[in-house]
Structure 1
């Protein structure tokens, strides 16, 4: 299984289509996020993903009834993964789990729900500034344990937390990891990063890689190189 989801972080439909066509044969799935979904809607999101597994990164965060409604609203897309914020609390997460189960009875497809713990753009100082208890690794662990107890399929976490979370949460819990930077790639706005092979070795289930693929001179070649690195 190729664990890489290529993040197509754009609002431009033609750009997303071109990138998807180029990299889909060389990755395990495509990630489309809030900016694309808001700009292009359900139909174009489905068109870009095609038959490639879709990671729909919407980071839903609202009262339980609204988040459950959001899960039902996108169920027809049949994404493999959908993100919600663990900071919404257990009742919200359980409502999303129930909605996913109800939708699966109608569509035949069970969406895997992933909890967002601490964004990889945040470090300990950022957490202090918004009144959250740090360090970041401790906050990630608290939220990940809450996500598992609430019935989620996995969490999003930085590479730096993977090994500890794998020990805490067991082999079957999905740990989906952004902040992946192959050797020589620019860090951009990511502060907690790791290389692809190291992240998998630490226990990551899936890797989310955006700019090192999509902003490369040849995105297909960049995706192939990462796949080859992971297979070596």
Structure 2
């Protein structure tokens, strides 16, 4: 199966083509930590990975895209492009969470203590999810405060993600329990999860764990009678 993977959810902007076939295996990726400006860079990256792997869009079996947690603007860019390709090509589009992709890269796979992937949120909040040592989810993604995690997480928990250091400090955990401080997923992990995902359940819909900060403007509004 040959997939195009796209990640614009966080600070990174990345695209990759991955094929797991025995006779057609290939992997090519381009990525850059840019913070903002995903819309300006993404299509060039897609063109580069498609050219480097000699892949025509008709060769793709599916499109994979990160769905969050992440930046509202960044998510919209990746999802719009992925859905557009899926519609034009008539190919399935699958969504992968940033938390799951980071867990895939960080999981020790030693049968030991569980893993909490935690990404920096607003103020005292983190976007987080628990996984077992193999990287399989054992809880749902949520937004929680550092103090809440400190009160509920077991002392054996291992940590990954951009908020790992902060959570470890609050829980008074030793540094060796921090497996990764990654602030965004690796595009290969996104692509590999996309190969395994079920298009029926892995919807390319944004994962928003908290409401937007913006509120509808009311000043100057004319009430309808």
Output the TM-score relative to the length of structure 1: 0.31
Larger Rg: 2
The higher-RCO structure (CA 8 Å, 6+ apart) is 2
Output the TM-score relative to the length of structure 2: 0.31
Whose helix proportion is higher, 1 or 2? 1
